[in-house]
Structure formats: C-alpha cells, structure tokens
Amino acid sequence: MDTLVKQQPGAGMDVFFSANAVAVIGASDDVTKIGGRPIQFLLKYGYKGQVYPINPRGGMIQGLQAYTSIGELPGRADMAVLAVPASATVQALKDCAAGGVRAVVVLSSGFAEAGEEGARLQAELLAIARKNGIRLLGPNCLGTISVAQGVIASFSIILEQSMPPAGHVGIVSQSGNVGSYAVQNIARRGLGLSHFIATGNEADIDVADGIAALANDPQTHLILCCMETCRDADRLTYALELARKNNKPVVVLKIGSTEQGQAAAASHTGALASSDAVIDAVFRRYGALRVHSIEALLDIAHAASLLLPGKLPKGDRITVVAASGGFGIMMADATVKAGLTLATLTEQAKAKIKAVLPLAGTNNPVDATAQVSSRPDVLYGMLSALMEDPSSDVTQVFLSLSLYNTRLRGVYMEALQKIRANYPERLLVVTSQGPADAVKEINELGIPVFPSIDATAQGLAGLVQMGHLSNVGEGIPYQGVIESLDRNAFRNEYTAKRALATAGIPVLDEVVVTSADQAGQEASRIGFPVVLKIVSEDIQHKTEIGGVMLNLGNEASVRSAYEQIMQSARKHAPNARLDGVLVTPMVQGGAELIMGISKDPVFGPVVMVGTGGIYAEVLQDVALQAAPVSESEALDMIRSLKLFPILDGARGQPKADVKAAASTLAKLSHFACRYANDVAEIDMNPVLVRPEGQGAIVLDALLIPTNNVV
C-alpha cells in the first residue's frame, strides 16, 4: 500500500498554507478541547475562508452552523482537521476522500506511537490517503500555522494569547513541543513567522516535505528544522538540495544521536562511522547548518533574519573589537576555534584608528581602550575605519553589559545609527547583553546582537556557511547498476583485494602460498624485501595474533617467518580456517590512511577516510560522506583531516599524492554502491599514500558481507 502514489517531497503542501475552506471534524464548543481550539483560532485571527464545524449532533458551534458530515457541506473543504478518537479516523478520512478534500491534518493520538493496533490504524490511514491523492499530516501532530494567511490547523497553546508576527522564518518540526517552543521564542525576539509545520508520526508527510514546501514558498527566506530522525535518505536530500538551489538556508537542530551500532565492529571502519556523524556529513554536503541546542537555533535564526536576503557574509575574515585586551583575546580565540579567520588590517585602517584613538591597539583583535565609550564620534570614527577596510568581511564589537548603562547606551546607539546610515552594506555584529528594548533598537538597524562571545563566533560561522550556499556542490546519488559480488571476494585479504582491483583500486602484486618453500620461491620472484601475512576469513586483525612479519630480506628469513606465522595463528585462533600466507612486496615511504565503507541503516553505503595504521580507532581522525563521492568531494574529505598538513608537506616532508588518494576513495565509494546489497563493510587499512606522482596503494583490505550473502 505504501507504494501507492508516493509524492515527491513538498508536492500538494500548498493547501496547508492557503486553504480556502477548512472543515474541523470532531468540532467542539469547548475551546479547551482539541476539536474546539482550531475553530477558536481560525475565528480569532481573522481567517478569511470558510470554516465548517462537523459534529454528528449538528447545531451551532462557536457561533457557526455545524454539519453532521462532510457530505452535508454546502461547499468543498480544501483541508480537514481530524480531532476525533483514533478509532473514528479511518471512516472520517474516507469521508474526506469522498468529499474531495485535498489535505488532512490528524491531530488525534493513539496510532503507531501507541502500539500494534495503533500502527495498523495508521497504515490504513496512509493507504486511504495515497489511494485518493490526499496529503496527510500526522497523526499525533500539533498541525500547522500559516501566519499571513491565517490558516490554522492546530490546537497549540502558543496561540491562546497571540498570533506570532508575520515574517520570513519557516519552521518544520517532528516534535510539536520543540517546534512550538521555537515559534514562541521567534515571536519573543521580534522575528516574523511564515509557516509552522509539526509532522508528528509522519505517516505520509515527513520533515522532507516540510523543508521542500518551505523551500518553494515565496514568503519563507529561512528554514528552521527540528529533527529527531530521518526515515528516508532520498527524500531528505532532495528537499535539502531544493532549498540550496532556491537559496533558502536550512538550519537543523538534530536531536538524539543514534547508537554506534555493534559494540565490537569487525572492521575499523565500522567502529569509526557512527550514524550521527553520517547525518552531519549529509547536512554539510547539501549546505544545511546543524546546531546542537535550541539557543543556537534561535541565535542564528535571529541574526540571519536581519541579513536575508542578500546581506550574508561574503567571506570568513572577522575583525574583533573590544575596550579590553582580555576580552579581545577571548574573542580572537573563539573566532579561530569556530573555523573563522582573523582579518589582517590594512595600514590605512590602522592609521585611521590611531588618528581617532592614539592609544588603541590596532592589530586584530583591536583594543579600542575605554576611550571608545567617551563620545559617539570616537566610536564612530574607529568603526568607520574598519567599515572602509576591504580586508575584513565582518566586524564584531563587544559591548559587554554597557547597554544597561543609560549614558553608554546613548553613546553606542548614536554611533551605531550613524555607521548603519553611512555604511549600509557593511556587516557589523554586536556581542552584548542588555535590556530587551536596547537589543531590539540595535536589531532594527539590521545589526545582529549575540549574547556571548562563543555564541557570536558560532553564529558568525553559521552565517558565513549560509553566505556560501550557492557554492555548495550538488550531491550526486548513485545511478549505476547494482550487482551481486562473487561470494569468494569475502573469503580473505587476497580475494578482497582482487575484487577491489576490478574497480581500479590500486593493489600490490602478491600471491598466497601454502608452504615455507613456496613462500621463499615467490619472495624471490617478487623481489626483496617482502611482507608475510596470514590469510584467513576468520582472522580480521592479523597483527594482534602475530600474523604479520615485515621487511624480510632473503629466502631463509621468509621460510622461517612462514612457519612462525602459521604456528602463531594456530595458537591464537585454533578454530580459524587458514588459507595460507600472503607474500607481498614491502612498500615504504609515504603516509598511511584508512579508507572504508560502512552501511548506514538510512543513508546506505557511507565512505570514510582517516588517519590509518594500527591507531586508527585511537586517533579518531576521520571524515565521512554518504556514497558515492566525486574525486573533488574525496579531496575535500582528505583535506579536512588533522593529518592533512603532513600529507601537504609539513616541516619539509615531501608532499603526498593526495590526488591519487582521492581517486582511490572515489572509486571505493562507487564500488560500495555497485555491490550495496552484498557488502556490509569494507576496510582498507593502511592505504599508503606515496610522494606526489607516485600514487597510492592498498596494503591491506577486508570485505564483510551483509547477512543475506551466503
């Protein structure tokens, strides 16, 4: 049933924003009940369309003619709100379908969240909705609010006192309470709301629908999303990509980190790739900004709403200004830790500052001294020098608690007003706490105010990311064939490498031997020095059981090493199936990476790269992305590693062939997608990245099958 007419994200959502007639099924005269509140709010806030209360008793409800059924209505309702017990919703939805209703909000609870019978009812609702082309919101949801249009399908208490002001911030939330808290705080901060959507159980409409609908909505400039989980990767990425293309920044408060999975993963890759890190990577790919607290969500929303559209930072060069050297240093530290750059002021800017404030420190951070608060013209003169400096993208001014002081507030406000009038396009932010009316006065100048140094740094980092939204590369889903992989590929390291080699992944010329004499002969053929490694599908971590011998320089040492390895394997893994010993060239010179694939339950194959070797899990220096990745994305992943300066020639070391490493990583990601049904994990550790022009080579590899591969 779930496959019936599954619409793309955002399709048919316009009805929730602009319904010309709303039917409330289960309507009540009692405004404390969920069947009474939607009618109360529609009437209270001036909804201009038709409101049709529906109750089997008929009569009058809240001053309106009530009807006994949808079929009795004098006109068609675009949208229906279901406020009846769960057991009555199936019939109510059937009546809506017969009456031509296009959108339904099920406020009632008692569905999948309540157990098996509730889940059955929810599935039945979905089948009816899909069969009849109805968009279904909920069940067990807080509904929708469209401020400018007055279209309300919610019982939320946030509307009891007042409607939020109309504006350009759209909110979609899986949690009704978290979303309504965000709405309340948006209103308290003086921001305007376009639409609020709470998705509840997401039988049909999910968070991706909400993002996509807001991305296509001309009233919405900024999208806030409160997310607990992602159920469908393709729908979410479609919606995020649509928002990116429409230049609508998305800020996501993703709560709840999925557990890492199996406590003892068979590969390093499985141990390093957590689901929460995967969704982080997906957000980055599509330009969505993730925050980790409701406060950060509101701070960035407030700042962005003052700058959208068109005034977001063009770069990440920040100039920080304080009347105290200590606060200036704290601001500089926070700026750098947030991944931003401290601007290098021009000599002209420094000279202008000195002309106004001879005792000022003119490096960045700028120490304006206490004199900056003496007169408005002094502060204006210093700030104008920075506004005219092309080396900076944003100027941050720390005002501490000065806004509580009436005299200082007057000095600062006069200077800020003049700055904004004379430099309307230059970005200025204030870090301060003060009376709400003072903060509002500064905001009305188009100047964001953050409450703390750290909040400012994180907020600026988010604004810079939003400013670069159009530069984010488009994520390309895998579009090739999905095939079955020969079961033999999972047998051991040797067969795994042979399979990877078919995808163009570079591996060494090596051979499996089953006797000491054969080991010596093959080592001579390959050329000394060589490495010997145990080969077994039952032994993943060979080093830990003495199954690896390095730098063997002659036949005698090879034969001896063969016997030692086999003896150690039998001792430490007596039940392991031993296929022999791998003889492989000893390759030296380069940096070690780990590359691998894990299987995310939502996003499918995930490619990982990080600092390799035996300490990969200890160092935790990794970058993840949903597969496949392009060579350009792979290169960006490698560049994000803490190890990268070493690869890039730090302290006189030769530069590594990172382009070859990126090519290998991209090929691995496509290999994983091609065999997605069969491969659960891939571990290539180490991958030796040799000096520029010499390529990269996989020294060890492990393929782990999915449970269905036998």
Kindly list the distances between the CA atom of residue 312 and the CA atoms of 249, 264, 287, 389, 392, in Å, as whole numbers in the listed order: 11, 45, 14, 18, 14
Query: What CATH number should be reported for the domain holding residue 52?
Result: 3.40.50.720
| Domain membership flag for residue 2 | no
Structure tokens at 373: 């608060």
Given 256, 272, 291, the domain boundary residue is 256
The pLDDT, as a whole number, for residue 613 is 72
pTM: 0.89
Query: What CATH number should be reported for the domain holding residue 521?
Result: 3.30.1490.20
Rounded CA Rg of the chain? 31
- Look at the block and give the residue holding tokens 């006189």: 652
More confident residue, 308 or 692: 692
The pLDDT, as a whole number, for residue 507 is 96
| Three-class SS of 477-524 | CCCCCCCCCCHHHHCCHHHHHHHHHCCCCCECCCEEECCHHHHHHHHH
- How many CB atoms within 10 Å of residue 553? 12
Question: Given pLDDT bands bounded at 50, 70 and 90, which one contains residue 638?
Answer: very high
Same domain assignment for residues 37 and 152: yes
The pLDDT, as a whole number, for residue 257 is 57
Percent of the chain with pLDDT strictly greater than 70? 95
What's the mean pLDDT in 637-648?
A: 93
| Domain membership flag for residue 290 | no
Question: Sign (positive/negative) of CA torsion 553, 559, 564, 565?
Answer: positive
| Domain membership flag for residue 492 | no
Question: Which structural domain, as residue segments, surrounds residue 659?
Answer: 591-705
The pLDDT, as a whole number, for residue 274 is 54
Same domain assignment for residues 597 and 654: yes
Given 585, 618, 639, the domain boundary residue is 585
Question: Given pLDDT bands bounded at 50, 70 and 90, which one contains residue 256?
Answer: confident
| Domain membership flag for residue 266 | no
Question: Is a pLDDT exceeding 90 seen at residue 86?
Answer: yes
Structure tokens at 235: 């729908």
| Domain membership flag for residue 263 | no
Same domain assignment for residues 566 and 607: no
The pLDDT, as a whole number, for residue 270 is 43
Phi, psi of 360 (to 5 degrees): -70, 150
- What's the whole-number average pLDDT of the chain? 92
The pLDDT, as a whole number, for residue 540 is 78
Question: Is a pLDDT exceeding 80 seen at residue 670?
Answer: yes
> Are the CB atoms for 136 and 112 separated by under 8 Å?
no
Query: What CATH number should be reported for the domain holding residue 599?
Result: 3.30.470.20
The per-residue pLDDT for range 572-621, each reduced to its tens digit, is 999 999 999 999 999 988 899 999 999 998 899 999 999 887 666 677 78
Torsion of CA 332, 337, 339, 341, to 10 degrees: 20
**Torsion-angle region of residue 143: left (phi > 0), alpha (psi -120 to 50) or beta?**
left
Same domain assignment for residues 699 and 563: no
Same domain assignment for residues 163 and 93: yes
The pLDDT, as a whole number, for residue 373 is 83
More confident residue, 186 or 146: 146
| Domain membership flag for residue 293 | no
Question: Given pLDDT bands bounded at 50, 70 and 90, which one contains residue 262?
Answer: very low
The pLDDT, as a whole number, for residue 708 is 58
What's the mean pLDDT in 677-688?
A: 95
The per-residue pLDDT for range 465-492, each reduced to its tens digit, is 998 877 776 667 788 899 999 999 999 9
At 295, is the secondary structure helix, strand, or coil?
helix
What CA–CA distance (Å, rounded) separates 656 from 661? Answer: 9
What's the mean pLDDT in 323-352?
A: 95
The pLDDT, as a whole number, for residue 476 is 75
The per-residue pLDDT for range 489-502, each reduced to its tens digit, is 999 999 999 999 99
Question: Is a pLDDT exceeding 70 seen at residue 265?
Answer: no
Question: Is a pLDDT exceeding 80 seen at residue 199?
Answer: yes
The pLDDT, as a whole number, for residue 3 is 47
Same domain assignment for residues 243 and 173: yes
More confident residue, 133 or 651: 133
The pLDDT, as a whole number, for residue 463 is 94
Same domain assignment for residues 691 and 651: yes
What's the mean pLDDT in 266-294?
A: 76
**If you count DSSP H runs as helices and E runs as strands, how many of each does the chain have, helices first?**
23, 30
Question: Is a pLDDT exceeding 80 seen at residue 286?
Answer: yes
Same domain assignment for residues 613 and 574: no
Given 218, 235, 256, the domain boundary residue is 256
Question: Is a pLDDT exceeding 60 seen at residue 273?
Answer: no
Same domain assignment for residues 156 and 232: yes
* Residue 673: partners with Cβ closer than 8 Å, 6 or more residues away: 478, 480, 482, 604, 605, 627, 628
Same domain assignment for residues 86 and 204: yes
| Domain membership flag for residue 303 | no
The per-residue pLDDT for range 146-185, each reduced to its tens digit, is 999 999 999 999 999 899 999 999 999 999 999 999 999 9
Question: Given pLDDT bands bounded at 50, 70 and 90, which one contains residue 271?
Answer: very low
Max distance between CA atoms of the chain, in angstroms, equals 101
Query: What CATH number should be reported for the domain holding residue 352?
Result: 3.40.50.261
Same domain assignment for residues 115 and 205: yes
The pLDDT, as a whole number, for residue 616 is 67
Question: Is a pLDDT exceeding 90 seen at residue 673?
Answer: yes
Report how many domains make up the chain. 4
Q: Are strands 222-227 and 250-254 parallel, antiparallel or unpaired?
A: parallel
Kindly list the distances between the CA atom of residue 321 and the CA atoms of 390, 476, 694, in Å, as whole numbers in the listed order: 16, 43, 48
| Domain membership flag for residue 430 | yes
> Are the CB atoms for 318 and 428 separated by under 8 Å?
no
Question: Given pLDDT bands bounded at 50, 70 and 90, which one contains residue 72?
Answer: very high
- Look at the block and give the residue holding tokens 């382009």: 659
Question: Is a pLDDT exceeding 80 seen at residue 85?
Answer: yes
Same domain assignment for residues 451 and 371: yes
What CA–CA distance (Å, rounded) separates 91 from 96? Answer: 9
Question: Sign (positive/negative) of CA torsion 403, 408, 410, 415?
Answer: negative
